[in-house]
Structure formats: structure tokens, C-alpha cells
Amino acid sequence: MAVKEIELIIPPRNPHFVGDGFRVQNFIPSAYGLDMQRMSPFIMLDYNAPFHFPATDSPRGVGVHPHRGFETVTLAYQGSVAHHDSGGNQGIIGPGGVQWMTAASGVLHKEYHEAEFAKKGGMFQMVQLWVNLPAAYKMSPPKYQGFSEKDIPTVHLEGAMGHIKVVAGNYQGTQGAADTFTEVHLYNVHLNNQGKASFSFPAQQNTAILVLSGSINIASHEENIAENHVVLFQNKGESFEISANQATDLLVLSGSPINEPIAAQGPFVMNTQAEIAQAIRDFHTGGFGVLKD
């Protein structure tokens, strides 16, 4: 099986705030060429690297806003996040938890620091990933999947090398927790010091790694790759091996591209500008339901 080589290593980005509760570095889409088509089906990746929020009686976050045409995936590592949407769904996730919201035909939602975490303050670390939907599913009914850490299947690597939490897709026969509309693999990986893990994805899939903590080496690449960096792989070959230089946490993502036009404007991702215009009209005329701030 041919080795999947590295195409690009992307350094940490300048952080900015989304609302007042998420201090993020944006890796997708970015000036490094990671546009929505190059990384399809992944059309946005914001990383809230570890950041201390002081205690407050008014939970920080992002107020009510719309989405249509894709899915939002929030992965919690430190701190806890609450979610409400106009479909009547709500949930709280803490470390190791995942919220997978399918906006599809349209939903209003809000996400913010969970009340008890906000009152105490503390370290906060999250990823938000947007996953595109094919045209055939963009106007399907919204839905919500919420998983605590214990809900996510775990693969323990041989030789006490570490473990892999299979959020979506499949790893060596273990099926992930989330239902997806296209082939998407999403793993939370922990490697112990000197731990190793091997991965294999089809050559045509768009594959990347976010180093959440620690540092790694990837076979065929001589330099260490430090935390807060993203590794992008070429669309050639299938397999690669990661080795950890210390205790390390990673987010591994790979997915089959959706080979359709992308029209994006703010919280709407459709296939044409006419569909974007319709989404805006539907939002302003109450077509996304009701949700109080």
C-alpha cells in the first residue's frame, strides 16, 4: 500500500473571537490554500486552543444565529458547552464529548459556556468543524446528535501505545458514533510517549491532522510537528504512521470530497447564489423557526 505523503504543514494562526466565548484560530478556509473545495467535505475548522476564561455569572458564547446546507460539529476537550436550537434540541457536552448538528434545510441555534463552567471559569479547549452536505441532502430535515465521551467507541492500541476515539467513520473495524451523509472519518487520538498509530484512507480523500497537544513525527517527514499545527496530506497514497515524541493528542480527519459547486455566504453554504438568496429570504421571513436569545 502506497504511503500518503505530507503536502503542507500549517503553523498556528492568529486567534480571533467568535462571539465572546470562543477564541479561535481558523485553519479552514485559510490563506494557505485550504479552501472549501480543497478540504471538502470539511468547509471550516476553527480551533479554540487552551485558553483560560475567568468566572462570570453571564455565560459567554454565541447568540442565536441561522445555518443552512451543512453540519456543525463541536468537539470538547476542556470546559463544557451548551447548545439549543429551533428544532427543540438541546445538550451539554464536557471533555471528550461531541455535538453534531445537521442544519440542512435550516435551523437557528446558539451555543455558549455551560452555566456551572461559566460560574467557576477555567481552561477551555474546543474544535468546531463544518461538514458540507451534498445537494441531495441540503434541504433535508435538521437533526441533532449529542455524545458524551463514554458514548464514543474506543480502540485501544496494542502495546499500550494509546487509544483512538472513533467519532465518525471506521477505524480498523470499529464503527464511529455519528451517522453521516457522506464518508467522513473523524478520530480523537491519544498517543502515549513514544506511542505509534497507523492510518489508511483512500487516496482521493482529503486528509488532515490537527495537533492538539504534544508533538509528532510522521514517517517520510524528518521534522517534528508541534502542537497547534495542521498537517495536510497529498491526494496520493493511502497509509501513514504517526509516532509521538511525548504524550500527544490529535484530531484526525479524512473524508470523500463532494464534487459539487459551493456557494457560501456567512452561515449559509449552498450550491448556487440563487439558493443563498433564498436562504436569506427564508431566514428573514421566519422560515428557520423561533429560538429566543
List the chain domain ranges: 6-255
Strand-by-strand arrangement of the 61-67 sheet: 61-67, 107-113, 81-85, 90-93
**CB-CB neighbours of 5 under 10 Å:** 14
Residue 289: what pLDDT?
94
pLDDT higher than threshold 90 for residue 160: yes
CA Rg value for the chain: 19
Lowest mean per-residue pLDDT among 52-61, 122-131, 204-213, 221-230: 221-230
Residue 252: what pLDDT?
98
Find all residues with CB under 8 Å of 150, minimum gap 6, and list them: none
CA distance 23 to 202: 34
Q: In CATH, what class is 6-255?
A: mainly beta
The proportion of the chain whose per-residue pLDDT surpasses 90, expressed as a percent, equals: 96
**CB-CB neighbours of 31 under 10 Å:** 9
pLDDT higher than threshold 90 for residue 210: yes
The CB-side HSE value for 291 (13 A sphere, CA atoms) comes to: 24
